[in-house]
Amino acid sequence: MLEKSEFIAQKLLAPDPYINSEGALFYHCAGNSGYDSVRRHYYVEKGGKLVFDSYFNCFPLHLYDLTDEHSLEVRIKAKGKSIFSAGQAHWQKSGDMLIETHIDFSNEDEQLSVPIPLMEESGVIFLEFTAREPLEIYDVEFVIIGPRRREVSVCAVITTYKRDREVQNTAKRLEAYFSRNADIAPLFRLIVVDNGGETDTVPFSAARVIKNPNYGGAGGFMRGLLETIDDGRASHALFMDDDASFFPENIRRTLAVLSFSKHSNLAISGAMITKLHKWMMWEDTATFRGGCRPLHTGRDLRHFMEVMTCAFDKPFMSPSRYGGWWYFCFPIAEAKTLTFPFFVRGDDIYFSLANNFQIIAIPGVVSIQEDFSEKQSPLTLYLDMRNHIVQNLTFLNGKKSARADLKMMRSFFWRYNTAYHYETAAAINLAIEDVMKGATFWEENLDMAQKRAEIAKLMAQEKIKTPLPYDPNYVFAPRPIRRPRLMGFLRKATFNGHLLPGFFFYKKGRILSLSDRAIGPQLFRRPFAIHIDQSNGAGYQVEINRRKFFKNWLKFCRLTWAYKLRYGRLLNAYSEFKQKRTSSGFWQQRFGMQITSADK
């Protein structure tokens, strides 16, 4: 351990309309209390109560490996009279009342320290203020006193492609944050890898911009990692999206957990919340076992029990767990294998599975961004299909058979081909075909320019138009799917209506949201479907086309038969690819960087 010191592990967060303003994710209250967004402080009127048992403001003590050499304090800046208490919640068992006391805050500039006892079993700590007189709360800090287990410094990497405005805004937020948090400013620096040629400088004093060929997120992040290694000052790298919103407080909490962890291979994966539903968990890390399985999707983070479930109900060490690169901080020394040249989609999964990281999530460390389902297109499904096949061939080698891969491919393909998304189904076929070409394909298509153009030519119906004109009198909204046996049998036997003659179909189509695409039962006996974002009118229309359906299906059958025959050779090819083409030398050669003998 290092010398004894004080480390501010966590500060109080407040709602911010530019990031997340869901009040119940920050606090719960009774009586006249809440957050004053004009004066920028929390308030509690006499008799009211403010409780920070919330996603953003609970303190996950169970993630810190503290010993008898450590102590914990809460430091508060406030004005007024309060009954202050600190509780500790545990998973599926009774909690602890750690402290309860009367505190008079006479001066808003004065900081009062309250020692918090450390119990034998640690959980999640939450604070509660009950006002005896009107109370204003300006700041709360959780401070760990004692030796850190290791020195941690972070170099963040943002890969951007023609999103200069978003990158500039992120850099401004970071500059403002670290100007107010000088204690951790020396522990953080930033590299912006510009794949699109738009970003030359950013307004953050500890940042530099690197121009890079457009090899997608995979190439951009690997360039940033190699530059970080060459620089030699950071112990950890942090990959972040260029279009995500986040509280810079994420960085303090990440530094704190890593500094007091006994695990040298610990990695922090930020959760993801979508801009559509800022109260709901989208993904709190995920696992890959033949397919992507996000953890805790749909949990309502306004409720503390749901927050507790996210905090505790995850395996600490899972060989199939991965973290998304919207926010992923990992020890550089443990990154023995670099990622696969996917361009985008799947590079984060591959990187996590290929390296010995212990991946955890921290409550409140989260990225807020667009729902992935709203970005869906034939191109993204092409990328997803490639990603799934390669992960299975590389990491499930010997654990599953070709039959499992074919079942996964059939699930992807059949969903879209039966739901009138023939262009997406054709792109899925193209992905299977390309994966079977082996190493040569990936080396020749690092920038994906040719493939992106090829898939763009496929897109006619499924290209989003803004606004999309349609007649609301000729569409029906989605309804609960009824599943009578006869109708279900008829739907399956006719391939969702593709074998039925036209007179069996209704005259009106179906209207669905962009996030509810390719739901076959909703389209049964409907001649067309409109997928639209009602907030801005963007959408597209698909129509039943029997010729395209059977053309795609026949090609899929040929491809999957060929895949089954070549399965053994493909396993060997992708195992060899992992050994020879995911090294530093492989990527350095593509970037024109100097290759040392150790990197070859």
Separation CA 362–CA 284 (nearest Å) = 9
The domain boundary, picked from 501, 533, 548, lies at 548
Q: Hey, is 334 helix, strand or coil?
A: helix
The domain boundary, picked from 370, 389, 415, lies at 370
User: Would you state the pLDDT for residue 483?
Assistant: 64
- In this structure, is residue 567 part of a structural domain? no
Residues 205 and 97 in one domain: no
Residues 431 and 395 in one domain: yes
| Residue (of 330, 326, 170) closest to 237 by Cα position | 330
Separation CA 285–CA 264 (nearest Å) = 19
- In this structure, is residue 561 part of a structural domain? no
- In this structure, is residue 589 part of a structural domain? no
- In this structure, is residue 77 part of a structural domain? yes
- Residue 319 sits in a domain whose CATH number is 3.90.550.60
Q: Where do the DSSP E strands lie in 161-312? A: 188-194, 207-211, 236-240, 266-269, 271-274, 281-283, 286-288, 292-294
Residues 289 and 396 in one domain: no
Residues 68 and 176 in one domain: no
Residues 390 and 342 in one domain: no
Separation CA 233–CA 438 (nearest Å) = 37
Separation CA 53–CA 88 (nearest Å) = 10
Residues 30 and 179 in one domain: no
- In this structure, is residue 341 part of a structural domain? yes
Residues 9 and 137 in one domain: yes
Residues 290 and 234 in one domain: yes
Separation CA 381–CA 451 (nearest Å) = 13
Residues 169 and 217 in one domain: yes
Q: Are 348 and 328 in contact (CB under 8 A)?
A: yes
- In this structure, is residue 305 part of a structural domain? yes
Q: Which helix (H) or strand (E) holds 560?
A: helix 546-581
- In this structure, is residue 598 part of a structural domain? no
User: Would you state the pLDDT for residue 457?
Assistant: 92
Which residues, listed in sequence order, are joined to residue 240 by a DSSP beta bridge? 158, 327
Residues 317 and 452 in one domain: no
Residues 510 and 536 in one domain: yes
Domain tally for the chain?
Answer: 3
The list of the chain residues with pLDDT below 70 reads 314-317, 373-374, 397-400, 481-483, 595-600
Other CB atoms within 10 Å distance of the CB of residue 316: 10
User: Would you state the pLDDT for residue 397?
Assistant: 56
Residues 286 and 427 in one domain: no
- In this structure, is residue 419 part of a structural domain? yes
The domain boundary, picked from 121, 147, 173, lies at 147
CA 328 centroid distance within chain:
9
Q: Are 183 and 166 in contact (CB under 8 A)?
A: no
- Residue 142 sits in a domain whose CATH number is 2.60.120
Handedness of CA 558, 564, 569, 573 (dihedral sign): positive
Domain extent, residue 505, equals 375-548
